Amino acid sequence: MDNMTSTQAPATAGSGLLSRFVGVLLSPRQTFAGIVRRPKWLGMLVLLLVVSGGVNFAFMSTEVGQQAMLDEQVRRTESFGTQVNDEQYAAMERMLPYMKYITLGGTLLTLPVVMLAMAGIFFGVFAALGGDASFKQVFAVVTHSSAVSIIGQLFITPLNYVRESMSSATNLAVFFPMLDETSFLARLFGMVDLFLVWWVIVLAIGLAVLYRRKTGPIAAGLFTVYGLIALGFAAFMFMRSGS
């Protein structure tokens, strides 16, 4: 009886979209076993696009969201050591009513490309290491790992509305308000988001299940790449700011 339960569990976990979504969050290893055997990806990709696009569109349709976008544009410009003059500020304001459409279009266009690119990179790397998974399986793992991103969107966006801010409320910089936001440490901590860390862990589990490898080394590799990107971006922004 126990053997029957254990063999049927992955199939159950990988059947419906909702069960796969919840399973990736609560029991990723078991769920990814079912996903690998039946690599469906379209439903999760559509869900990601609908939620991400819808949430961003709704936020940018509000005065709070538009003002937050304007403040973020000014902050980013000034973070490069450039002051925004009145003419530039007025031009940014004129674009605000259209930002909801720009944001929606950008989301619908870029997310599938990013997912395909990531899947292609993982497929190539693991193929070079002797992996025998299909691209469809890799793409299914990558798209299902985005369940964490969906939860992040639904969690962070209402907080951003209350905070009247575009910056993530779950990055490490939030816990160090004493730091100058133009400092290297503040920029580095701002690149470390708790939902992004969670996503990396879930993705590592999915790839480990797919390629029948240990999760630890895969997670270490992904976090190393993440850390190098964060360090490089923080250093670049710090040097450009002239601090």
User: In angstroms, how far is CA 131 from the centroid of its own chain?
Assistant: 25
Beta bridge partners of 193: 171
Alpha carbon distances (Å) from 145 to 38, 86, 148, 190: 15, 43, 6, 22
Q: What are phi and psi of 85, to 5 degrees?
A: -85, 175
Query: What per-residue confidence (pLDDT) applies to 111?
Result: 95
**Nearest CA to 104 among 147, 61, 62?**
61
Low-confidence ranges of the chain (pLDDT < 70): 1-14, 79-81, 240-243
pTM of the shown model = 0.84
**Nearest CA to 33 among 8, 5, 6, 14?**
14
pLDDT (tens digit, 9 = 90+) per residue, 172-188? 877 777 777 777 787 78
Query: What per-residue confidence (pLDDT) applies to 236?
Result: 76
User: In angstroms, how far is CA 236 from the centroid of its own chain?
Assistant: 21
Three-state secondary-structure class, residue 130: coil
pLDDT (tens digit, 9 = 90+) per residue, 123-157? 999 999 999 999 999 999 999 999 999 999 999 99
